[in-house]
C-alpha cells in the first residue's frame, strides 16, 4: 500500500486531467451546435466527419459554412486563448510564489495591449514586420509589450529572492495605468483607417476568429503552453523558495527567464487576438489547487484544460444570452472573476497558512 | 573534502567574513558556533554557494564551487536553511519528495519512507505543511534535505544545516543530532550552525568558533570548547565541566550578577 502511494497519486492526477479534458471536449462539441444559427448534433457530426471524406447523415451547405468558417475557429480560439491564460497564470503564480498573481493584474496584458495598439495604429511604420512575420507580426509585437511589462514588474517587486505582493500589485497598477494612457495617446494620433482597425480589434473578442488566427495560436500558444507544463518540477522546487530550489539543483535564473518569456508570449498572443480577458489566469489555477492540491504536475496542465473550458463556456454565454447579438467575452469573465477575486482577498489569510 | 580557502565577504566595504578557512571532512560533524552577528550564516551561505566571495574560493572534492552547475552541486551537498516558507498548500510528503528532484529513481518510495520515519514525520505525511507546528515543519524540511543525499554514492557528500533544531523540543533536538551522527557512516560530512553549546560540545567532532567575521578557534571539540575560548567568543562567563576525557561535557552560564560572585557549578 505504502509502496504504491506516489503511483496512486500519479494515477489520480491523470484521472483528473482526463476528466477535465473530457469536460472540455463535451462543452466544445455542445458549444458548436448552439448559437444564433443552431445546427443539430447529428448534422454537426455529419459535417465534421465529411471533412475526413466520409459521408454520414445529411447537412446543408449553409450549416457546413457556419460551422467550419465561423463557429469552429471561434471555439478553437477560445480554447487556445483560455488555456494559455490559465497555464500562464498558474506558472506566474508559481514563479512569484503568490496565489494573487494574474497576467492582467501585474500588467502583462496591458503591455501586450499597448504594443498591439501601436502595431495597429502605426502599422504603416511597421510594414517591414508585416513583410517579415506575416500574420505573426501583431502577436509578436504584443508578446514584446507583455515581456517588457512583466520584466519591469518582476524587477520592481523582487528583492533578494522574495516578491513583495503589495509592490507587485502596485507596480502592475502603475504599468497598467501608463499603458492605458499610452493607448489613449496612440488612438489620438490614429487616422480613420487605423481607428477602424483598432475598434475591430478592441471589440474583437473571439468573434473575430479565423483559421489563420487559429493556426497562429496553435503555434504560439499551444506549443509554448506545453513548454510551460514541462516546468512543473522546477516550479514545485521554487515553491520552497529560490535558495531552496537552487540547493536542490534548479538553475533558478534560467527557470525565471523561461517562465517569464513563455508566459508573456502566451498571454501576448492571446491579447493580440481577443483583446484583454481578465481573471481566467487568476481563478483557474486557484480552483485546481483548492480541489486537487498544489503539485504543479497537475496544476499546470489542469489550468490549461480548465482555462480552455472556462473561456469556451464564457464564449457560449456571451453569444447566447442576448441572441442574436453578442456580449464581449471579457464582460462575462469579469462578472465571474471579480467576485471571486474579492472572495480571495477576504480569504487570503486562510490560504496563506 | 569541502574546503573554504581564505574566503572574504564584504558589505559596503565592511568585512562580514574576513579570510576564513574551513575544511570539512566526510564522516565528520562540524559545529559552527558564535554570537549573533558573528557572520555564521554568511559563512554558511558562502559554503553552500548562495553567496559568492570576493577573495578566496570554496572547493568540493577539489572542484571549485563557481565551476559547478546547480545540478552538479546538488549531487554533492544538501542544504537546510534557517527558515523555509511554503506559499501553496503542499502536503508534507510532497515536500519531502522534492528532495528527490534530481534522482533518476522514478518512485523512490523506500527513500521517502525511510527519511520520514527517521525524522519522525511519517505519521504527518498527509498533513498540509501549513497546519504543522514550527518543530514539525523543521523536521519535514530536514526529511527533504536528507532525501537528497540518502541514496548511497561512491563520492563524499556534505549536509549543511543552519540551526536545524531551533524550533524543536529537547528530545527531538537530541534525536536529530543522533541522526546527523549516523550520516557520518554514509561518507557524508555535516556542517551545522548550532546555538546550543551542549549539543555542539557533545555531538560535534570539530568546532569552529566565529566572532566578528573571523575564525578565532577551530579544531577537535574538546580542544576548542574550553571556558577560556567560549568566554572570549561570547564575552560572557561560561563554565565547561567534564568528569573525564570520555565523559560528556557540561557547559553552563549563569545570570551575570551571580556568576560574578565566586559561584562554582557543582556536578551532582
3-state secondary structure A49-68: HHCCCCCCCCCCHHHHHHHH
Whether the ω angle into residue B79 lies within 30 degrees of 0, i.e. cis, is no
The answer for residues whose C-beta is within 8 angstroms of residue B225's C-beta and 6 or more apart is B197, B200, B201, B207, B240, B249, B251
Does A294 contact chain B (CB < 8 Å)?
A: yes
**Assigned domain for B29 exists:** yes
- Ordered by start, the domain boundaries in chain A are 74-352
CB contact under 8 A, B84 and A289: no
What 3-state class would DSSP assign to A163?
strand
Pairing outcome for strands B14-24 and B157-162: unpaired
**Mean pLDDT across the stretch A29-51?**
81
Question: How many structural domains is chain B composed of?
Answer: 1
pLDDT tier, A132 (very low <50, low <70, confident <90, very high otherwise): confident
Nearest in space to A179 (alpha carbons), one of A249, A107, A250, A228: A107
**Assigned domain for B268 exists:** no
Looking up cell 567575521 gives B213
Out of A237, A249, A289, closest to residue B88 by CB: A289
- Kindly provide the ipTM of the predicted complex, given to two decimals: 0.89
**Assigned domain for B80 exists:** yes
Closest approach of chain A CAs to the CA of B86, in angstroms? Answer: 5
Does B63 contact chain A (CB < 8 Å)?
A: no
Residue B58 pairs with which residues in a beta bridge? B4
Looking up cell 555531538 gives B203
State phi, psi for A143 to the nearest 5 degrees: -65, -45
What is the CATH superfamily name and number for domain A74-352?
Answer: ABC transporter involved in vitamin B12 uptake, BtuC (1.10.3470.10)
Average per-residue pLDDT for chain A: 84
Closest chain A residue to B93, measured at CA: A6
Tens of pLDDT, residues B80-130: 998 888 888 899 999 998 888 876 655 567 888 889 999 999 999 888 988
Q: Give the C-alpha separation, A84 to A142, whole Å.
A: 14
Tens of pLDDT, residues A68-127: 888 889 899 999 999 999 999 999 999 888 887 888 888 888 888 898 888 888 877 777
CB contact under 8 A, B88 and A249: no
**Assigned domain for B183 exists:** yes
* Residues of chain B neighbouring A97 (CB-CB closer than 8 A): 87-88
**Assigned domain for B265 exists:** no
For every residue of chain B, DSSP letters joined together read -EEEEEEEEEETTEEEEEEEEEEE-TT-EEEEE--TTSSHHHHHHHHHTSS--SEEEEEETTEEGGGS-HHHHHHHEEEE-S-----S--BHHHHHHGGGTT---TT-HHHHHHHHHHTT-GGGTTSBGGGS-HHHHHHHHHHHHHHHHHS--SS-EEEEEESTTTT--HHHHHHHHHHHHHHGGGTEEEEEE---HHHHHHH-SEEEEEETTEEEEEEEHHHH--HHHHHHHHSS--EEEESSTTSPEEEE---HHHHHSS------
Domain extent, residue B247, equals 2-260
Does B73 contact chain A (CB < 8 Å)?
A: yes
Q: Give the C-alpha separation, A211 to A69, whole Å.
A: 8
Looking up cell 460551422 gives A67
Question: Over the Cα atoms of chain B, what is R_g?
Answer: 19
Closest approach of chain B CAs to the CA of A51, in angstroms? Answer: 43
**Mean pLDDT across the stretch A216-244?**
91
Tens of pLDDT, residues A284-324: 998 898 888 889 999 999 999 999 999 999 989 888 887 77
CATH of the domain at B131: 3.40.50.300
Amino acid at each position: 500500500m505504502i509502496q504504491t502511494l506516489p503511483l496512486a497519486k500519479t494515477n489520480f492526477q491523470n484521472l483528473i486531467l482526463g476528466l477535465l479534458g473530457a469536460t472540455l471536449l463535451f462543452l466544445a462539441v455542445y458549444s458548436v451546435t448552439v448559437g444564433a444559427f443552431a445546427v443539430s448534433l447529428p448534422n454537426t457530426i455529419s459535417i465534421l466527419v465529411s471533412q475526413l471524406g466520409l459521408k454520414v447523415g445529411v447537412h446543408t451547405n449553409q450549416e457546413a459554412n457556419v460551422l467550419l468558417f465561423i463557429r469552429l475557429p471561434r471555439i478553437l480560439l477560445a480554447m487556445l486563448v483560455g488555456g494559455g491564460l490559465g497555464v500562464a497564470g498558474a506558472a506566474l503564480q508559481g514563479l512569484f510564489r503568490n496565489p494573487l498573481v494574474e497576467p492582467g493584474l501585474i500588467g502583462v496584458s496591458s503591455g501586450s495591449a499597448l504594443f498591439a495598439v501601436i502595431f495597429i495604429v502605426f502599422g504603416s511604420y511597421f510594414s517591414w514586420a508585416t513583410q517579415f512575420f506575416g500574420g505573426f507580426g501583431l502577436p509578436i509585437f504584443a508578446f514584446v509589450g507583455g515581456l517588457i511589462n512583466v520584466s519591469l514588474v518582476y524587477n520592481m517587486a523582487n528583492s533578494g529572492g522574495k516578491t513583495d505582493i503589495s509592490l507587485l500589485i502596485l507596480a502592475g497598477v502603475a504599468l497598467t495605468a501608463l499603458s492605458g494612457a499610452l493607448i489613449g495617446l496612440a488612438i489620438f494620433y490614429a487616422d480613420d483607417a487605423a481607428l477602424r482597425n483598432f475598434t475591430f480589434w478592441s471589440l474583437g473578442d473571439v468573434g473575430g476568429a479565423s483559421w489563420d488566427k487559429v493556426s497562429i495560436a496553435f503555434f504560439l500558444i499551444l506549443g509554448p503552453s506545453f513548454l510551460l507544463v514541462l516546468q512543473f518540477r522546477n516550479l514545485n522546487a521554487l515553491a520552497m523558495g529560490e535558495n531552496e530550489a537552487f540547493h536542490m539543483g534548479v538553475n533558478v535564473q534560467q527557470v525565471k527567464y523561461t517562465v517569464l518569456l513563455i508566459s508573456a508570449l502566451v498571454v501576448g498572443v492571446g491579447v493580440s487576438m481577443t483583446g484583454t480577458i481578465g481573471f481566467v489566469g487568476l481563478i483557474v489555477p486557484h480552483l485546481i489547487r483548492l480541489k486537487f492540491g498544489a503539485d504543479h504536475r497537475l496544476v499546470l496542465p489542469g489550468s490549461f484544460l480548465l482555462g480552455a473550458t472556462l473561456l469556451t463556456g464564457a464564449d457560449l454565454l456571451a453569444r447566447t444570452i442576448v441572441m442574436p447579438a453578442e456580449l464581449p467575452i471579457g464582460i462575462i469573465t469579469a462578472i465571474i472573476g471579480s467576485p471571486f477575486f474579492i472572495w480571495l482577498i477576504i480569504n487570503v489569510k486562510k490560504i496563506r497558512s | 573534502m569541502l574546503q573554504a580557502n581564505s574566503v572574504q565577504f564584504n558589505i559596503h566595504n565592511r568585512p562580514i567574513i574576513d579570510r576564513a578557512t574551513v575544511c570539512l571532512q566526510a564522516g565528520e560533524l562540524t559545529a559552527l558556533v558564535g554570537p549573533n552577528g558573528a557572520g555564521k550564516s554568511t559563512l554558511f551561505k558562502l559554503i553552500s554557494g548562495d553567496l559568492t566571495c570576493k577573495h578566496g574560493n570554496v572547493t568540493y572534492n577539489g572542484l571549485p564551487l563557481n565551476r559547478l552547475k546547480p545540478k552538479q552541486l546538488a549531487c554533492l551537498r544538501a542544504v537546510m536553511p534557517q527558515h523555509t516558507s511554503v506559499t501553496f498548500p503542499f502536503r508534507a510528503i510532497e515536500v519531502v519528495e522534492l528532495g528527490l528532484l534530481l534522482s533518476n529513481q522514478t518512485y523512490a518510495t523506500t527513500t521517502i519512507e525511510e527519511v520520514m520515519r527517521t525524522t519522525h514525520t511519517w505519521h504527518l505525511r498527509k498533513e498540509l505543511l501549513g497546519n504543522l507546528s514550527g518543530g514539525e515543519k523543521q523536521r519535514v524540511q530536514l526529511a527533504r534535505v536528507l532525501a537528497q543525499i540518502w541514496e548511497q554514492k561512491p563520492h563524499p557528500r556534505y549536509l549543511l544545516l543552519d540551526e536545524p533544531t531551533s524550533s524543536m523540543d529537547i528530545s527531538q533536538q537530541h534525536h536529530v543530532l543522533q541522526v546527523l551522527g549516523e550520516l557520518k557512516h554514509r561518507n557524508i560530512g555535516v556542517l551545522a550552525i548550532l546555538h546550543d553549546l551542549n549539543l555542539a560540545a557533545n555531538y560535534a567532532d570539530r568546532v569552529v568558533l566565529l566572532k566578528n567575521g573571523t575564525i578565532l578557534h577551530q579544531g577537535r571539540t574538546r580542544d576548542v570548547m574550553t571556558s577560556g575560548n567560549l568566554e572570549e567568543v561570547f564575552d560572557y562567563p561560561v563554565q565547561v565541566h567534564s568528569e573525564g576525557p570520555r565523559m560528556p561535557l557540561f557547559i553552563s552560564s549563569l545570570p551575570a550578577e551571580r556568576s560574578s560572585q565566586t559561584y562554582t557549578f557543582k556536578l551532582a
